Structure 1
Amino acid sequence: MAITRLTLAPLLLIAAVILSTETSAQPAAPAPGPAGPINLTAILEKGGQFTTFMHLLKITQVGEQVNIQVNSSSEGMTVFAPTDNAFQNLKAGTLNKLSADEQVKLVLYHVSPKFYTLDDLLSVSNPVRTQASGRDNGVYGLNFTGEANQVNVSTGYVETRVSNALRSQRPLAVYVVDMVLLPGEMFGEHKLSPIAPAPKSPSTGVSDDDTKSDSTKKAAASPADKSASGERRVGLGFGFGLVVLCLKFLF
């Protein structure tokens, strides 16, 4: 037994050295590389129900602008993405009636130039600027209300719920909305003209101007009528005198 142990000891030592050498020779696992640039289209594609919105982002080039800005801005951005069903629920021809500039403004209206969590939206100061607002905060802004986990967004023309987030990590938040955010500045009802029509006479159904016009016409016509009547009386008197003169000669 002692001889066997003495024989195996060197073999075990050699095996341990070999295993140690092989383990140290294996390359270390590479460290994870830096995350790639954020791509809004890729996020929407993963969501699987934003074909129309992605098409609008592409033809208006707003999608590319978002990608550039969100990867370079410290403020971050927030996008409200309408589903395909949201676009299907629009009246037929709504998008086709918009000019190219109006389509751009509509898409920009769904993007805020700041990163917001859902909690932020519950306490934010309304109206919230969008990329369509320009320098005027009150124009093309969004209004948020709600409580707990319920957040609603209103445009002044439509109101809907802000649903689940496709992405909520800084610098980009992407939230699902079940309605297209139609800005009141673009789709709201037009105000009536403040100029009231001229009042009409209740008895005749004509306006005061018409009544005055008729009176004026009668007043203007009166001298001529009187003149014509006088001429007719003179003509009749002359004829009657001529008849009497002729009778005198005859008798």
Structure 2
Amino acid sequence: MNNHLLFTLSLVLLLYFHSTTTLAQLPASPALPPTPPGPTNITKVLEKAGRFSILIRLLKTTQLGDRINNQIRKSDQGLTILAPTDNAFSSLKSGTINSLTDQQQVQLVQFHIIPSFFNTTLEFQTASNPMRTEAGNSSFSEFPLNVTSSGTQVNVSTGIVNATLGKRVFTDNMQLAVYQVDKVLLPMSIFATAATAPAPALAPGASKNKESSAGNTPGSDDDSPAADSGAVGLTMHGMLVSIGVGVAVFF
């Protein structure tokens, strides 16, 4: 009886150690694949970079941030954003942004968005001027944006502002690139002053002298004292009345 019990215990211990060894030799469970990053969000990109709080606020108030995110997700067309820093906005005259209408604020932000993907500064050498932006017409009187590139240095001109492209803030290597600019890009159609507009041309044959354009009164004598003083001669009931400025004399 004791031998039988001893045999049973030995068998149980043998099975226990065997199962433990087998489990220890089993390969570990494969690691789960990394969670793919979520869709690109322009406001989160700028928040992570820092120093773009004013641009972020404009992207939210104009709802262009959501539009950019949707465009990246639903379109193969790449975007390049020239992002002015908070210091760039602070250098503007006080109240400049608040003085703009809602539509002008939208156009101002769109003027900083190029509907092409420039992954490096060297790629700006292939750009054609004036560059098209999301703001619309790139003609001189509306939204011209010209880029000159020398090596890695890129300069941007709007006709009002000359800015320098800074470091690349973000790229997903496919559709979105964000570069820092040291000035707010001010478009002509919003910020051009009246002084920049050409003066209206005179009509052909028009005189610059008011008196010569008015002509002489028929029968008047330019050498007479009355003509010199601007007086007008009238004949009333046989009396000559000479009316000067503030003086009436009856002869």
TM value normalised by structure 2: 0.73
Counterpart Cα distance in 1 of 2:109 and 2:145: 13
Alignment of 1:157 onto 2:160? yes
For residue 78 of structure 2, what is the amino acid of its counterpart? G
Note closer, same or farther for the CA distance 1:226–1:209 as it changes in structure 2 (3 Å cut): farther
Tell me which of 77, 80, 84 is aligned to 1:78.
80
Partner of 1:171: 175
> Which AA in structure 2 matches 1:132?
A
Q: Sequence identity, in percent? A: 35
**Counterpart residue number, 1:180:** 184
Q: Residue in 1 aligned with 2:41?
A: 39
User: SS of the residue aligned with 1:36?
Assistant: coil
Which deviates more from structure 2 when the two are superposed, residues 179-188 or residues 189-198?
189-198
Q: Residues 54 and 17 from structure 1, CA distance in 2 versus in 1: closer, same or farther, beyond 3 angstroms?
A: same
CA distance in 2, matches of 1:128, 1:50: 24
Q: Specify the alignment match of 1:130 in structure 2.
A: 133
Partner residue in 1 for 2:3:
none
Rounded to whole Å, the distance in 1 between the matches of 2:153 and 2:17 is 65
Task: Sort the Cα spacing of 1:143 and 1:188 in 2 relative to 1 into closer, same or farther, 3 A.
Answer: same
What CA deviation, in whole Å up to 9, does each residue of 1:122-164 have, x standing for no partner? 221111111101xx44342321102111011111110111100
Alignment-derived partner of residue 208 in structure 1:
212
Preserved CA contact (<8 Å) 1:199 1:207? no
Which residue is 2:200 aligned to? 194
Q: Quick check: which has more Rg, 1 or 2?
A: 1
Structure with greater strand percent:
2
> In the aligned structure 2, how far is the partner of 1:211 from the partner of 1:103?
52
Map 1:1-251 onto structure 2 (within 5 A): 21-22=23-24, 24-117=26-119, 118-133=121-136, 136-138=137-139, 139-168=142-171, 169-190=173-194, 191-196=197-202, 198-200=207-209, 207-209=211-213, 212=216, 224=235, 227-228=238-239
> Contact 1:86/1:180 (CA < 8 Å) preserved in 2?
yes
TM-score using structure 1 length: 0.73
Contact 2:40 2:72 in 1 (8 A): yes
Distance 1:62 1:116 in 2: 20
Q: How many angstroms apart in 2 are the aligned matches of 1:24 and 1:141?
A: 68
From the two aligned structures, give the one with the greater helix fraction.
1
CA RMSD of aligned residues (A): 3.1
